[in-house]
Amino acid sequence: MIKIRILLALTVLPFLACAQNSEQEKQEIKTAVLGYIENFFLNDYNNMEKHLHDRLAKRGVNQDGTLSEEYPKPALKALMNNKQALPLNLQSNKVDSIFMDRNFASVILSTGYPGLKWKEYIHLAKLEGEWLIMDVFWNFEE
Q: What is the pLDDT of residues 74-105, one digit of tens each?
A: 999 999 999 999 999 999 999 999 999 999 99
Question: What value does the mean pLDDT take over residues 62-68?
Answer: 95
Alpha helices, DSSP H, located in the chain: 2-42, 45-49, 73-81
List for the chain the helix, strand, coil content (%; round to 5): 40, 35, 25
| pLDDT at residue 65 is higher than 50 | yes
* Better pLDDT: 116 or 8: 116
107/54 Cα distance (integer angstroms): 19
pLDDT at position 142 is 73
Question: Who contacts 19 (Cβ-Cβ below 8 Å, separation ≥6)?
Answer: none
92/119 Cα distance (integer angstroms): 11
2/10 Cα distance (integer angstroms): 12
pLDDT at position 71 is 96
The yes/no answer on whether domain 2-140 falls in CATH 3.30.2350.10 is: no
What are the boundaries of each domain within the chain?
A: 2-140
With cut-offs at 50, 70 and 90, classify the pLDDT of residue 48. Answer: very high
Cα 22–Cα 24–Cα 29 angle in degrees, nearest 5: 95
With cut-offs at 50, 70 and 90, classify the pLDDT of residue 52. Answer: very high
**pLDDT one-digit tens code per residue, 1-42:** 666 555 545 555 454 444 556 899 999 999 999 999 999 999
